Amino acid sequence: APRGGSRPAAPAARAPLPQVTVRDALNQALDEELERDERVFLLGEEVAQYDGAYKISRGLWKKFGDKRIIDTPISEMGFTGIAVGAAMAGLRPVCEFMTFNFSMQAIDQVINSAAKTCYMSAGSIAVPIVFRGPNGASAGVAAQHSQCFAAWYGHCPGLKVVSPWSSEDAKGLLKTSIRDDNPVVMLENELLYGVPFEMSEEAQSKDFLIPIGKAKVERQGTHVTLVSHSRPVGHCLEAAAVLAKEGVECEVINLRTIRPMDIETIETSVVKTNHLVTVEGGWPQFGVGAEICARIMEGPAFNYLDAPAVRVTGADVPMPYAKILEDNCIPQVKDIIFAVKKTLNI
């Protein structure tokens, strides 16, 4: 500093935001919505006395009691039917599947009873229900516990389908889903439950909601658009960080919602970057990426593409049990980097 002068004050450091795991964010959302509206209740296997198979409902049974937090038998078709009937009668159930692979037991209730009723009753019967639980591959649980249902449920009119990545996604989308008058399928990821994310002051409020049907640009970029949902969003951000060191700037879009799909945000990005790569844990055929590619081809952004859109997906096989085979069946950061370089021809 010049002699006799005073040093300029250093800018105040931003206080670090608290880190909250996806598990705790979901627990907060359930706690707040159960407290806010006495019509809301949670049912599923192990959700009450055991505090939830994944501890998402930890502490809720002790706080709200048997009528609001209900342990069910291992009978998805039965308890899903009870929940759908309760929704038609004016309650707002949250129906947990221990994994979405078991929602196949209840697919008739989810689609034929929940999804189609509002339309078939000309709007006179609302079905405000949330179906939630872990979706897609976990670790070492083989084919019958590893399927991604984003494309299955995203295919069906009458449902809204959300797929959170971060803790803020999880809290905001669950609260919005519980308040929605339509059936919502919320596809969580078991491997994200214990992952901490920064949570803004806004997200810690009891009024924090994230609109269904709106994607979020997680990283700005100019060379290529990466579109993803759920856990692979993190892989896309890792790939983008590696590629940035090589001078390639990726724009990363977190879909957040599968149905209705926010194609406008993707189009805006493609118009800017002229390249598109989609990334998902599910299978390629009729997948979420396939739908995005078709919509881009049919819309105004197609004329801005400088190369064909590329999909990065899970392998087209039932999930193997062995870890090394499993790793080769799920998109990894290196697969995303390879796809980006192929698209950019570098």
With b for 16 or more beta-carbon neighbours within 10 A and e for fewer, the 317-328 pattern comes to eebbeeeeebee
Active site residue 145: yes
* Cβ-contact 210, 169 below 8 angstroms: yes
What DSSP character marks residue 162? Answer: E
Compute the CA torsion angle 14, 194, 168, 174 (nearest 10 deg).
Answer: -160
Active site residue 76: yes
State the maximum Cα–Cα separation within the chain, in Å, rounded to a whole number: 82
* Cβ-contact 125, 302 below 8 angstroms: no
With CA atoms as reference, report the closest residue to 330 among 258, 235, 241, 254.
235
Residue 68 backbone phi and psi in degrees, to 5? -105, -25
- Residue 88's identity, in one-letter code, is M
Which single residue is written with the structure tokens 């998402």? 56
- Token pair for 223: 């060379």
User: Of 32, 45, 145, 251, which is the active-site residue?
Assistant: 145
3-state secondary structure of 340: helix
With b for 16 or more beta-carbon neighbours within 10 A and e for fewer, the 216-253 pattern comes to bebbebebbbbbbbbbbbbbbbebbeebeeeebebbbb
Dist. CA 224–CA 141, nearest whole Å: 34
With CA atoms as reference, report the closest residue to 95 among 120, 127, 122, 124.
127
Chain centroid to CA 164: how far? 2
* Cβ-contact 42, 71 below 8 angstroms: no
Dist. CA 116–CA 104, nearest whole Å: 17
3-state secondary structure of 302: helix
User: Of 76, 251, 291, 326, which is the active-site residue?
Assistant: 76
Q: Which residues are catalytic?
A: 76, 145
